[in-house]
Structure 1
Amino acid sequence: GHGAGPRDDKFIIFDEAWTREHKATQVRLVAESDVAVGELNEVMDAEDALRRASESGLSAVVVGVKARPPVVRLVDLQKMRDREKQRREAAREEADAKANLKEKGMRFKANISDHDFATKERKMVEFLEKGFKLVVDISSTGRIKRQKPNGVRELITKVEETLQGNYSEKKVMGNPNFRATVHFTPILKKPEPRAEPKAAPKAEVEPRAAEEPAEPQKEQG
């Protein structure tokens, strides 16, 4: 046999033809708790599994062809397809957003003073917060290299640590001994899901206590 029942996109559908082809007399029928039948994980005759599947109104797909007995999962195919589609769309949107980012560049010599670094640090954080892609160019010269042999490497680490939490990914290019560029991708903000307008809570008005006439005081004699 060719090892698969009818395929629906990338799912192998569990049906009579599949059980015949694979001579499957028993299967393990499983389901997640989020589908109509609730959580399920039991071994049963293939016939019973076919009946259970058709009664459930769900799709039965083979997920463990090589397992003994084979594993069949009851799934809501439409829901799975929708989820997969949403995931693909979200990934595509994110890739597009990253591709369209504008860049801001910063140049450093490996022997930059702490004071100058602090000034540039604020700028770098600001660029990333505003959604720019940040490209940091770090270079050394023969003279600097004699003073600070690992200057470029050390500064790359310092920049990464400084920007920790402000970028989603980074890529180091070039030669960390002489000159390197570090590309930082900002954290892209996901669009907020629209909140349903909440009904304003009703102000509770306390009933005012009815004013009782004060009792006339008896004169003490």
Structure 2
Amino acid sequence: MKRKLRFILRFSLITIISLIGFAQTLFAFDKSGIVENLSAHFSKEISTVLISMLPIFELRGGIPVSVQVFHLPVFKAVILSVLGNMIPVIFLLLFWEWLAGILSRNTILKRWIDKLQGASLKRGKIVEEYKEMGLMLFVAIPLPVTGGWTGSLIAVLLGLSFWKSLLYIFSGVCVASLIVASLTLLGKVGAIIASVILLFLVIISIIKVIIDKNKKKEEI
């Protein structure tokens, strides 16, 4: 129990510090590079979806650009960004093992694949310990080392169920969209609000996991 409480405190502290720091970088998104090229060839809506599909950026890039640069309504920006974020998730969950197998036939690409998968697993300790619930929490934190792309890889590498992984990743993406939307609209204040919400979710999730484990022990 003490170990789990320490984990909750560490996780919460890192989350709060990271989100406040992330709030400072949201508005520094490059408006002249990717955004300018996309908006020159596609509508604002399609551009938002495409930005949210990109690794690293995902909806943490899609929502602020959609709201601040394209001036789309927040609700519309959230819906489009969640849609864009989930498209690669589905393909990764279904085809990553097959794609990794093909790419690994090349020695250079195999090294890259091994490095990518190893790094993903190192970041996903919370998923390894708490399975699907941990997967949701991992995806819910809108930072460059988390999100739908990395969460999908971790789910595949740990052999988690496709449908459960899809559901919990979607839940995490939805939570992340609310956090990013808050950060986009409110800056530091939004970061604090989002941190409190996420802290509450973490505590509830950990309590649920502990209760489930105790029930299993009693059944045995």
| Same-fold call, TM cutoff 0.5 | no
TM-score, normalised via structure 1 length: 0.27
Indicate the structure with greater helix content. 2
Larger radius of gyration: 1
